[in-house]
Amino acid sequence: MAAHDVNTADSTEDVRTIDQVVDVIATTAPEIRTGLPGRRVASEEENPSGETQMAADVFADVLLCERIGALDGVSEYASEERPESIDVGSGNLSVAVDPLDGSSNLKPNNTMGTIFAVYDAPLPAHGRDLVAAGYVLYGPVMTMIVARKGSVDEFVIYDDSSYELVREDVTLPDEGTVYGFGGRVPDWTEDFENFAREVEQDASRKLRYGGSMIGDVNQILSYGGIFSYPGLQSAPEGKLRVQFEGYPIGYILETAGGASSDGTQSLLDVDKDELHARTPVHIGNESLIDDLEAALD
Ligand SMILES: O=P(O)(O)OC[C@H]1O[C@](O)(COP(=O)(O)O)[C@@H](O)[C@@H]1O
Ligand SMILES: [Mg+2]
Ligand SMILES: [Mg+2]
């Protein structure tokens, strides 16, 4: 389902807090990146989803928690790396973060990201409570995508923590040319596999899957197409987490004129009230998401 009717902040104070969150993310990203070389190893701990944390996941979480938590307008901080959300003040907004998305890509030195979601409700919040969302992509260039006030902007972040707006009002190209589907193919459902085979038949499309949602999603924003991490036979809710990954990516894609789905409805309409709940994720051009929903019906 497409939207363009995403929720946005309407008070001056919330708008200011969102700008401050964006500033913290942008100015912390170079530090996160600089801290990566010595942290490409597993820590002793598991995160609440049962995955082994990398030292870099913990490092990025601690930095972001400290800095986002210090903002007056933020009352709660949560991340993929901690079991509960924490109270950080009495502001109006809550921030949920995936400090490093795709951290299994650290070992082979491939793309990763940092995702943030700003909600005007206590955590776990609902997709319709989102008032802004965005991500940093640690690629050859550090870029940041921000969806707020009904449009999506792209920035380049420099090593000295300055950042520059390079593209305003980012929208998906009409003709989608790339696709990327997560999960082991033998673990896909029959309906999803049939859909994937249909998508592949179009000679104008090619496979691009990197194993970091942010890298894969940014290709869809750049070239159009579809990214899915579907529900699997062994894991009907898939792998990606609603609060930290599904909602913010759905919000960004819908703000950019694309569509998002859990297989039957917009990601923003998913009802899950557990902080670390998972959901199937499908994002891309509206026509492809319509076809996906028809195929999974
Ligand atoms: O290794 P797989 O099964 O392809 O999974 C890749 C997916 O897992 C993730 O890495 C999960 O995110 P985290 O690294 O934040 O746990 C996504 O970024 C990516 O889409
Ligand atoms: Mg992630
Ligand atoms: Mg992560």
- Give the mean model confidence (pLDDT) for residues 121-125: 98
Residues whose beta carbon lies within 6 Å of some atom of ligand 1: 51, 80, 98, 101-104, 182, 211-213, 229, 239
How many whole angstroms from 203 Cα to the centroid of ligand 2?
Answer: 31
Q: How far apart are CA 183 and CA 167, in angstroms?
A: 32
pLDDT confidence of residue 4: 58
Please say whether the beta carbons of 213 and 229 come within 8 A: yes
pLDDT beyond 60 at 150: yes
How many whole angstroms from 198 Cα to the centroid of ligand 3?
Answer: 31
Residue 232: pLDDT band by 50, 70, 90 thresholds? very high
How many whole angstroms from 241 Cα to the centroid of ligand 3?
Answer: 10
| Shortest-distance atom of ligand 1 to CA 115 | 15
User: At 283, is the secondary structure helix, strand, or coil?
Assistant: strand
Nearest-CA residue for ligand 1 atom 11 is 102
pLDDT confidence of residue 1: 42
Q: Model confidence over 267-291: pLDDT tens digits?
A: 999 999 999 999 999 999 999 999 9
As a residue count, the chain comes to 297
Q: Ramachandran region of residue 64, left (φ > 0), alpha (ψ -120 to 50) or beta?
A: alpha
| Shortest-distance atom of ligand 1 to CA 103 | 14
The residue type at 102: G
Q: Model confidence over 189-209: pLDDT tens digits?
A: 999 999 999 999 999 999 999
Contacts of 11 (CB under 8 A, 6+ apart): 92
pLDDT confidence of residue 109: 94
Q: Model confidence over 21-79: pLDDT tens digits?
A: 999 999 999 999 999 998 988 888 899 988 889 999 999 999 999 999 999 999 999 99
Q: Model confidence over 155-176: pLDDT tens digits?
A: 999 999 999 999 999 999 998 9
How far are the Cα atoms of 29, 149, 266 from residue 6, in angstroms, in the given order? 26, 9, 11
Closest CA to 179 of 204, 208, 201: 208
The residues facing 119 across adjacent strands are 94, 130
- At 144, list the tokens: 């940041």
The single residue listed with the structure tokens 């699997």 is 232
